[in-house]
């Protein structure tokens, strides 16, 4: 399969001469079967060859030893290319581009090796000091896996902070140290809600340490979360003209544009969450009755909407001219190989991309911006809060009340004029 991509025989011989030449060739065959673009092969194969040389120089003699050398190689590669002093986000992105092809290759040649590129595969924090904490969260507290991942993320930050301050034992934790960690987290640009989430997780963790006698006193009592007053935040909605600008920014001639246009219409027309759009399947669209079925919503129920002609036409255009050929029943797929269903965070990122492309300025742009816009549009049409809540799937009336506190259009008139007519 290498000869399908590389013209020079010397290049093919050099790849096959590597002690991991066979796994590399298996990986190239897998890329070819998955319809990956040739540029992916040209970019990834040199990385794999260098990885083999790096692992061998560190004493690896068997393929089963390769996983132990992945992270050291990633750090070596980034440092060699001057990525040591770049921003944290840029370094993580570059690291993923190096790590992912190696892990994909290892999945092919090592039975039982698993990796999906997400943070769930990172080791759990405090494995020696509090090894049963996450089992406690799953078994005793009954938390969903997505919530457990949040705990893991925030406690990794704590673990990293303790390592930086040269604190080795959890028994050395103190109120001052915890307070300094929370303060540093807030100074890194995290909003008040994120700080609240961190404080809640720390309270649960510290309370567990105290109950299991890993701490002599309950430090959770010393944590005071920042106050977040009810209805203190403004809705993140944009005007209907700005929605049109966003939709006009989509290039509907391409498969990606056809997909994204249908996604954006679903978000703003029905106020769907990103997870709800990602979970849609072909079976959720009843073309005979012009209905859209949204199952398993956050509130624990399902909703059936009339299928808007505009939304239906956009979905049909994507199905006929943009969706990859697959037997899977998911509605929206990646536009490039591997052709897997789009994840919820991809939908949020695409909404953010088009809002910025259209020049729409809004706090924290994303899929929820369009959900807020849908609700605000219904409110401006004098639809009752109860009906709005049922329409967008709110669990409680309080979730809808935030939109009733501000008359957006009236405030715009005040800002543009003297406001006498509004008063």
Q: Which residues are catalytic?
A: 273, 298, 368, 371, 394, 403
Q: Is 142 exposed, middle or buried (0-12, 13-18, 19+ CB in 10 A)?
A: exposed
| Residue located via tokens 């008063």 | 423
**Residue 218: DSSP 8-state:** -
N-term to C-term CA, the chain:
75
| Percent composition of the chain: helix, strand, coil (DSSP 3-state, to 5) | 60, 5, 35
Q: Per-residue b/e over 322-334, b at no fewer than 16 CB within 10 Å?
A: bbeeeeeebbbbe
Please give the structure tokens belonging to residue 387: 């009906």
Torsion sign across C-alpha atoms 36, 37, 40, 45: positive
CA torsion, ordered 88, 92, 93, 97, to nearest 10 deg: 150
d(CA 125, CA 80) in angstroms, rounded, equals 29
């Amino acid at each position: 399969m290498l000869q399908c991509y590389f013209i020079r025989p010397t290049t093919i011989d050099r790849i096959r001469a590597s002690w991991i030449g066979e796994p590399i060739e298996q990986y190239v065959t897998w890329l070819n079967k998955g319809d990956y673009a040739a540029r992916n092969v040209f970019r990834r194969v040199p990385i794999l060859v260098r990885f083999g040389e790096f692992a061998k120089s560190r004493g690896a003699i068997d393929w089963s030893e390769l996983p132990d050398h992945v992270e050291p190689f990633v750090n070596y590669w980034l440092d060699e290319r001057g990525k040591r002093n770049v921003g944290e986000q840029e370094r993580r992105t570059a690291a993923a581009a190096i790590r992912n092809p190696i892990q994909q290759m290892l999945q092919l040649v090592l039975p039982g090796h698993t990796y999906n590129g997400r943070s769930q595969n990172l080791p759990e924090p405090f494995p020696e000091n509090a090894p049963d904490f996450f089992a406690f969260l799953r078994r005793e507290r009954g938390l969903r896996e997505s919530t457990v991942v949040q705990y893991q993320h925030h406690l990794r930050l704590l673990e990293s902070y303790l390592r930086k301050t040269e604190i080795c034992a959890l028994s050395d934790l103190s109120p001052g140290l915890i307070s300094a960690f929370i303060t540093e987290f807030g100074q890194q640009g995290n909003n008040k809600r994120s700080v609240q989430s961190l404080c809640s997780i720390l309270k649960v963790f510290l309370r567990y340490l105290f109950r299991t006698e890993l701490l002599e006193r309950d430090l959770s009592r010393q944590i005071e979360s920042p106050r977040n007053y009810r209805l203190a935040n403004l809705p993140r909605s944009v005007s209907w003209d700005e929605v049109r600008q966003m939709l006009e920014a989509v290039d509907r001639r391409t498969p990606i544009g056809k997909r994204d246009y249908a996604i954006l219409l679903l978000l703003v027309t029905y106020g769907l969450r990103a997870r709800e759009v990602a979970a849609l399947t072909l079976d959720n669209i009843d073309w005979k009755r012009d209905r859209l079925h949204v199952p398993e919503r956050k509130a624990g129920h399902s909703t059936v909407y009339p299928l808007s002609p505009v939304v239906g036409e956009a979905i049909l255009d994507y199905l006929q001219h943009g969706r990859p050929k697959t037997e899977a029943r998911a509605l929206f797929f990646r536009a490039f190989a591997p052709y897997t269903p789009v994840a919820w965070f991809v939908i949020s990122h695409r909404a953010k991309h088009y809002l910025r492309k259209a020049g729409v300025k809004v706090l924290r742009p994303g899929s929820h911006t369009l959900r807020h816009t849908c609700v605000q549009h219904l409110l401006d049409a004098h639809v009752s809060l109860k009906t709005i809540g049922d329409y967008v799937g709110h669990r409680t009336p309080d979730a809808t009340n935030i939109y009733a506190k501000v008359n957006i259009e009236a405030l715009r008139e005040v800002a543009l004029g003297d406001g006498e007519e509004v008063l």
